[in-house]
Amino acid sequence: MISARSAYATLVTNADYAMGAVALVRSLKLTGTRADIVVMHTRGVERSALEPLSALGAHLMEAELLPTSAAFNERHQRARLHANAPFTKGNKPTFHTPLDNFVKLRLWQLTGYDRIVFIDADAIVIRNIDRLFEYPEFSAAPNVYESLADFRRLNSGVFVARPSQRTFEAMLERLDREDAFWPRTDQTFLQTFFPDWHGLPVFFNMLQYVWFNLPKLWDWSSIAVIHYQYEKPWEKDHSKAQQLKPLIDLWQTYYEGRDIPDAVGLDNPLNSG
C-alpha cells in the first residue's frame, strides 16, 4: 500500500534527459500510481526544458553537484574516466557527463519521503510497479543485457531507497576517499556501498540490449520497466537504431502522448495518452 511519504524520483542534467523524463513521467502517470513523482535537476537545465515536466504534475527539485574534491573530479571527468574504463558494449552519447551521475545520491536527502523508487530518465514504465515501495533498501535489478554472467552486478537505473541524511553523509565520506575511482560512477559506488543488495527480477529494469542479445528473456507480459542503456531513443540514426526500432517507436509513443499499442500488453485502463 502506498503511503503519502512514497515517491518516484528521477534525475535530469540537461535538455536531452528532460525529454527522457517527459516520457518517463507520462508512463508513470499511465500506470495509475498515486505516488508523488520528483524530478531532481541540476542548475544548468533550462527552465523551458523543465516546464513540460511541471505541467505533467512532477515536483521539480534543484540538486547541486556533490562537494567532491578537485582530485576526485579530475579522475571522473569524461575523457579520463572513459580512457581508464572504456565502454566496449555500446556507445554513450556526447551529452553524457559522468560527474553528474553522482547527483543521484542526493535523493537520500529527500527526507520528506520515507520510500523512494529511483528510475533513470532514459526509461519508461509500462505497468504499475507500486509494489516496489515495499521492497527493502537497497533493492536493484542485475545488469543483465548480454549474458547470465551479469547477474552478479547491479544496474542503478532502477532501485529502492530509504532517504536518510545520515546515510547520505556516510556515502559522501566513502565516495571521495583518497584515490577513489568508480569506473561506472554511481553504479559501481552503490554496489560497493550496499554489498548485500537485494536483487529485483530483471523485468523491473529490462535493459534494451536484451531485445537482440537475449530475446528469449524478453517477455512483454512480465516486463515493467524498459531502460534504454547506452544509445538513447531520442538520438537520431544511432548505430543500433534499426535493431532497436520497435523499442524506439514505443518510447516515442510515450514521449508524444499517443495511444499505447496493444502489443505491449498493458493492463491499465489509462492508455489513451
Structure confidence at residue 260 (pLDDT): 87
- Round the CA-based radius of gyration of the chain to a whole number and report it: 18
Three cell numbers, residue 257: 502522448
Q: How far is CA 241 from CA 215, 234, 244, in A?
A: 17, 10, 5
In what order do the strands lie in the sheet containing 225-227? 123-125, 225-227, 206-207
pLDDT of 240 higher than 50: yes
pLDDT of 269 higher than 90: no
Q: Specify the range with the lowest mean pLDDT, choosing from 71-75, 134-138, 251-255.
A: 71-75
pLDDT of 71 higher than 60: yes
Return the higher-pLDDT residue of 126 and 271: 126
Q: How far is CA 190 from CA 160, 166, 168, 209, 222, in A?
A: 12, 16, 12, 22, 26
Average pLDDT over residues 220-240: 95
Structure confidence at residue 265 (pLDDT): 47
Average pLDDT, the chain: 90
Percent of the chain whose predicted confidence (pLDDT) is above 70: 88
Return the higher-pLDDT residue of 260 and 60: 60
Phi and psi angles of residue 61, each rounded to the nearest 5 degrees, phi first: -135, 120
> Where do the domains of the chain lie, and which CATH numbers do they carry?
6-264 (3.90.550.10)
Measure CA of the first residue to CA of the last residue in the chain; give whole Å. 26
Percent of the chain whose predicted confidence (pLDDT) is above 90: 81
Structure confidence at residue 95 (pLDDT): 54
* Measured distance CA(99)–CA(91) in Å, rounded: 17
pLDDT 10s digits, 131-144: 999 999 999 999 99
Average pLDDT over residues 101-109: 97
Three cell numbers, residue 86: 572504456
pLDDT 10s digits, 8-59: 999 999 999 999 999 999 999 999 999 999 999 999 999 999 999 999 999 9
pLDDT of 233 higher than 60: yes
Return the higher-pLDDT residue of 157 and 77: 157
Choose among 268, 147, 163, 170: nearest CA to 217: 147
pLDDT of 87 higher than 90: no
Q: Specify the range with the lowest mean pLDDT, choosing from 8-12, 83-87, 210-214, 244-248.
A: 83-87
Structure confidence at residue 177 (pLDDT): 93
pLDDT of 259 higher than 70: yes
Average pLDDT over residues 162-188: 95
